[in-house]
Structure 1
Amino acid sequence: MLRPLLYLSALIVVPGAVGQTTFNESSKFNISSCPITFYGQKYEDVYINFTSQNSVVCFNGFYDPQAGGDCLLGPQASLGVFYIFSSDQLGEQRLLQEEPTINATLGCYMSFYLDNDTIFYIENFGSQAALTIEFFSPGTHLTDVIVNGITVHTLNITNTESNGQYYDYLDLSACRHRGVLYETNTTTYDPEFCETVQCSDTAVLDVTTCGPMEMCHNGTCVNGTVPEIQPASHIVFLNIKISTTISVENNQDNIEKLIKDKLINLGLPTQISVRLLSNGSVKVSTAAPGG
């Protein structure tokens, strides 16, 4: 097998390749002909740039460690060639042997041949995706897989004189909902939203929640609207002596208002209501604001 550096220097047209592009600076490639579903998020563009320490392939913009992107972070390089391939039956068989959680058929794949003896293959399996890395030089090759700015996996290839590893593989399949990753072939209940989140074995997301006439309340779907809890009301009976020269019977409203104003001045809520009882005692009740 030719090493990646030979591909770069000779620019050989690889059989089965849809197109090839050489790059030595930050570059954006349209991959709508071979979109990649990276941990549940489908992308039709890919970005690659070289930093002082790494070569980085990202799907949602050029690499920014503060931006929380979806990226592959590998060793430093300075030159590369980008290809899109329609198919590879032998490569598909080898990958499926290494990653049995892939349950779909290879549709297409892309590759990045870099001048540090590294090749990235990113494979399209419809709603699933996979990553294959080739590294031929002696030593250790580490590639971080980053989702939403968080490293979720590190691929490790170590080649010595007695041990040539050369390849490492990773299933990039998952479902993503509300910013949360869900592994394939799992069912999870989220009580905050009363949602059952199902991620199939081919990374197809299905979310069920409350019905159209229901609401989520304390982790359970309930009919109608959630009842509003009203503040408690209090009733206070006062036994007081009222001295007046006017008729209580004919001036009850005025007397009740005077008593209410006095009680408010003493610190009771303005929402209180006062009713003068027939036996001469005073009944004071407080109601909730707005009640």
Structure 2
Amino acid sequence: MIKIKSDEEIALMRESALIVSKTLGVIANEVKPGVTTLKLDKIAEEFIRDHDAVPGFLGLYDFPNTLCMSPNAQVVHGIPNDEPLQDGDIISIDCGAIKNGYYGDHAYTFEVGEVNPEIKTLLKVTKECLYHGIDQFRIGKRVGDVGFAIQQHAENHGYGVVRELVGHGLGKKMHEDPEMPNYGKRGRGKKFKNGMTVAIEPMINLGTKRIKQLKDGWTILTADNKPSAHFEHDVALLDGKPKLLSTFDYIYEALGISSDEEDKFRMD
């Protein structure tokens, strides 16, 4: 059942989402060759707790850490470890936090040092997929419209769209209705209503759409071991239009990036 949120609830959810956004901004300063994902995980946990929130992933479904850290061919749900990041890596960092009883859930794929131009393009297109999907989260549209927009843009560039892992509703639980696949048909699926809050998160592969799972029971990889990218925003439907609860602004400030990509979706 889809849970419609009040304006007051959405304001609380925005607080949670911005805690995650700020955490990723802090992490952005630390992502570099030689750093371990366990170190980044510790920084994130301390930052979240220092801001009167609780890590949203730690212990969720028995996940052992604060961050999902998924480098290169890992799609999502990678477990932090002691292996240092290497120049030329990419890494999806997915973070959750709970504040005032509501979840924030937000992800960004970072470049580590100098990255191959082919992989830079994958990241660029995947982020474009995210905003194409967000733009379809409107009154008069359905779940399939979001998925179609993401799928079409990714496949037009020859990329694989992961089927088994999807975006989702968000609120007092990490995973609420509706599921938000990154593929679909226009005009299909549940109708969008004002007050809905969702996490939209394209997972796009350089090669095949097929995936596999490691024996750790968590880490998802591409079946052909080619790189995968992942970006995620929390979005509310207000007055018929999508409004971002999360932001990449803190990441961009840390990395010295100028961008207007979020302007049309900002909260008033």
Give the TM-score normalised by the residue count of structure 2. Answer: 0.25
The answer to which structure, 1 or 2, has the higher relative contact order (CA under 8 A, 6+ apart) is: 2
Work out which of the two has the higher radius of gyration on C-alpha atoms and give 1 or 2.
Answer: 1
Higher strand share: 1
Normalised TM-score (structure 1): 0.23
**More helix per residue:** 2
